[in-house]
Amino acid sequence: MRFIFTFIWGFLLSCMITYVIGNMAGIEFSVSTAIFLGFVFSICVSVLGDGVLKEENA
């Protein structure tokens, strides 16, 4: 379930980033770029959350 929500949030944030940067650059919105960035964000967050970042028990 957390992977589904990770992808949904990654997709929404990548759509926002693609839209804002596209408007600043004067180009039109590209859904394929937003989907690609959503996958990249989801993979990075999943790898960081499950493997790299661990809580230290003190």
Q: What is the pLDDT along the chain (58 residues), one digit of tens a residue?
A: 778 888 888 889 899 999 999 999 999 988 898 889 889 888 888 888 777 666 666 5
Does residue 57 fall inside a structural domain? no
Does residue 19 fall inside a structural domain? yes
Does residue 58 fall inside a structural domain? no
Q: Compute the distance between CA of residue 16 and CA of residue 30 in angstroms, rounded to an integer.
A: 11
Does residue 20 fall inside a structural domain? yes
Does residue 46 fall inside a structural domain? yes
Domains contained in the chain, number: 1
Q: What is the pTM of this model?
A: 0.71
Containing domain of residue 17, as a range? 2-52
Does residue 27 fall inside a structural domain? yes
Contacts of 36 (CB under 8 A, 6+ apart): 14
- Helix/strand/coil percentages in the chain, nearest 5: 80, 0, 20
